[in-house]
Structure 1
Amino acid sequence: MATPRRQKRYKLKSEINVVPYIDVMLVLLIIFMVTTPMMNSSVDVQLPQADAKSLEQKKDPVLVSVLQDGQLYLTLSGEKKELVDEETLKNKVRVFVQVNPDVSVLVGGDERGAYGGVFKVLADLQQAGVSKVGLMGQPGESNQGKTSNGRK
């Protein structure tokens, strides 16, 4: 009678263990769920670095200035600065960029102004068909000789 027990104990299983496959699938699902929203960016902005030198311009750039109170000024390639509203800004920049596709578009915002005003201009420029926008700034003090908290 010892023989039948021995045969039962060593009988092979014909089932596949799918638990490790389910674990891997769930980990991949979580990774894709977390990374997918990060891949959708609505406004592509290339921010300049703090110690960067000014770029060489082939043509005069289109300048959009956002004042502290939200007023918009547009300067098209060396012309006079003019006060515009959002729709006029979109229309003029759209036409100008269609004629000159290689022209640079730069946005300068008042540092005391609200970030929302600059962000709205960036969204308007994207709707006008501008693919690359630069942000203007003034060079700051040199960071040499200062510690991380800004003191010497």
Structure 2
Amino acid sequence: MNGRGGKRRLAHEINVVPYIDVMLVLLIIFMVTAPLLTTGVEVNLPRAPAEPMDFAEENEPVILTVKRDGSMYLNIGPTPDQPISGEQVRRLTASVLKRRPDAPVAVRGATEGAYGNVVRGMVLLQAAGAGRVGLLTENRPEDEDG
């Protein structure tokens, strides 16, 4: 034999079927978990040309949302989508700041809401031990008016 006849030739192809299966499983996982990652209460934030805050994943911020009617929601605790009392805001925030004193603290106040409600929320956060309280806004490009 001259060397060509009895030998099998190796195929230089990659079987992509298992990779497609893995990709589809990952796609389903991401589609199921993505809505769970967006928690919080919807409010219309004021627009301002502010610098975005960069929160580290391991240092989740404490965010108090104050809606138009003055109801308050805290992104921490057992029910972040339910309104809570001022005492609950103070107690939950104090427990987080006791464990993580460097946790960022911010207030999301609705544009249409009363200024006094936002100030009341800030006072509650400071009473819980927050040394600095930020205000969250929607970022507006510099060339937009009002």
Name the TM tier (shorter chain): 0.5 to 0.7
Partner of 1:55: 54
The 5 A counterparts of 1:55-74 are 55-57=54-56, 58-74=58-74
Are residue 97 (structure 1) and residue 79 (structure 2) matched?
no
Q: Secondary structure of 2:124's partner?
A: helix
The Cα of 1:80 is off from its aligned counterpart by 3.8
The 5 A counterparts of 1:8-23 are none
Contact in 2 for aligned 1:61/1:105 (Cα 8 Å)? yes
Q: Structure 2 unaligned runs (5+)?
A: 1-47
The Cα of 1:76 is off from its aligned counterpart by 1.6
Task: Indicate how the Cα distance of structure 1 residues 51 and 80 shifts in structure 2: closer, same or farther if over 3 A, else same.
Answer: closer
The 5 A counterparts of 1:35-46 are none
Q: TM-score, normalised by structure 1?
A: 0.57
Identity %: 26
4+ aligned runs moved over 4 Å, structure 1: none
Q: TM-score, normalised by structure 2?
A: 0.59
Larger RCO (CA under 8 A, 6+ residues apart): 2
What is the total number of aligned residue pairs between the two structures? 98
Partner of 2:21: none
Distance 1:98 1:119 in 2: 23
* Matched residue type, 2:52: K
Contact in 2 for aligned 1:75/1:82 (Cα 8 Å)? no
Q: Structure 1 unaligned runs (5+)?
A: 1-48
The Cα of 1:96 is off from its aligned counterpart by 1.1
- Larger Rg, first or second structure (1 or 2): 1
Indicate the RMSD between aligned Cα atoms, in angstroms: 2.5
The Cα of 1:69 is off from its aligned counterpart by 0.3
